Amino acid sequence: MPWNSQGGGGPWGGGGGSNPWGRGGGFGGNRPPDLEELLRKSQERFKRALPGGVFGSGRGLFLVVLAVLIVWFAFGIYRVQPEEQGVELVFGKWTETTTPGLHYNWPAPIGHVETPKVTRVNRVEVGFRTGYDPSRGTSSRDVSQESLMLTGDENIIDIQFVAFWIINDAGKYLFHIRNPEETVQNAAESAMREIIGKTTFEFARTQGRAKIESEARQLMQQILDLYGAGIQITQVEMQRVDPPGSVIEAFRDVQAARADKERAINEAQAYYNEVTQKAGGAAERVIKEAEAYKAEKIAVAQGEAQRFTEIYVQYAQARDITRRRIYLETMERILGDMNKVLVEGGATASGTVPYLPLTELLNRSHGLSQGPLGADLGSSSSAAQASSGGTQ
């Protein structure tokens, strides 16, 4: 051995001995043990452990090789966890994708198994990046070269969104794309730019967010399927949709003017609705009143016609009696409210004595002395006195 040629001190120097660091416990002690001697002793112990001491025979060598092969083959058993998929490789080539459970593949160096987690939800940020600073906590940084996009009405909009994805085919994920994170990010940005290029600025800012998210997810999935990436896009979530920072103040003024315009239009529409409803109600009321008057007149005319028919039937049966009854009823209706007394024939013929209620007339004239009746009574009294005086 070369170590023995150095004065018997070995690579560490010093005297011989079984302790490689010397009997004193350091490198400067006695020399280390002879490796050839240790190997020879190990071989002798292994020979004695074999049955019959047949290490040098062909049978013993076969048993040793068989034992090594059995142990080597045992290393080919592997387990896939529930959140994983197994990708079996043989000489570096993808041969099969396995599901959770126990499986077998050629052990190393012939075979190898990759087990990526397929249930973990990954996220890709477009237009911004989030990070963690121990002094400030979670922070965000804008990436304007990704977020600024051109809309369908030739306006510039600042969009930040997040795409969430999982692995649905581990084999394609490992061997069809080189950089999965970058591939998903490029596909997300490309899909969003295509959709925004067909959408107006105001629609993208307001009621079109849900539609844009859905269309972006579908287009991203189509792009990744075309690549054979083995990735499934689960959700696209828009974070911020605003005009560029340099024109945001002017944009807010425009939005305020539009809000005032909408408010004025709404107020005018409300006034229009109020006036038209009132006019409609009045017209409906007039129509209903006319219809009621029409129905009333028709009912009255029908009633009078029916009464005339009934009277005519009675008149045809007894003309004199019916004629007199009609005459009496008519006179009763005409003279019913009159304060008159009608006496048939002359007063002398019927024995009726005319009576003038002077006491009642005087009582009534006391309260109405200033009226025409009082003046008439006064003049009548004076005339009566004058007449009586003249007679005397």
Average pLDDT over residues 149-176: 91
Residue 381: pLDDT over 60: no
| pTM of the model as a whole | 0.51
Residue 114: pLDDT over 60: yes
Range in 50-54, 245-249, 316-320 with the lowest mean pLDDT:
50-54
Kindly report the backbone phi and psi dihedral angles of residue 275, in degrees, each rounded to the nearest multiple of 5, phi listed first.
-65, -45
Domain limits, the chain: 35-73, 75-114, 122-242, 247-320
Average pLDDT over residues 153-170: 91
CA-to-CA distance for 299 and 106, rounded, in angstroms? 108
Residue 149: pLDDT over 50: yes
- Beta carbons of 46 and 30 less than 8 angstroms apart: no
CA-to-CA distance for 269 and 260, rounded, in angstroms? 14
Average pLDDT over residues 207-222: 93
Give the tens place of pLDDT for each residue, 32-78.
567 677 777 776 776 665 555 544 556 767 777 788 888 888 888 88
pLDDT-derived band of residue 288, with 50, 70 and 90 as boundaries?
Answer: very high
CA angle 357-361-365, nearest 5°? 170
With both helix axes pointing from N to C terminus, report the angle between 372-391 and 358-367 in degrees, rounded to the nearest 10.
130
Average pLDDT over residues 161-182: 92
Q: Looking at residue 19, what is its pLDDT? A: 47
CA-to-CA distance for 236 and 225, rounded, in angstroms? 17
Residue 86: pLDDT over 70: yes
Average pLDDT over residues 333-351: 65
Q: Which of 164, 185, 186, 174 has the alpha carbon at shortest distance from 117? A: 174
pLDDT-derived band of residue 383, with 50, 70 and 90 as boundaries?
Answer: very low
Q: Looking at residue 267, what is its pLDDT? A: 95
Please give the CATH number for the structural domain made up of 122-242: 3.30.479.30
Residue 58 parent element (H or E): helix 58-74
CA-to-CA distance for 227 and 339, rounded, in angstroms? 116
Q: Looking at residue 167, what is its pLDDT? A: 93
Residue 297: pLDDT over 80: yes
Residue 325: pLDDT over 80: yes
pLDDT greater at residue 64 or residue 225: 225
Average pLDDT over residues 366-381: 50
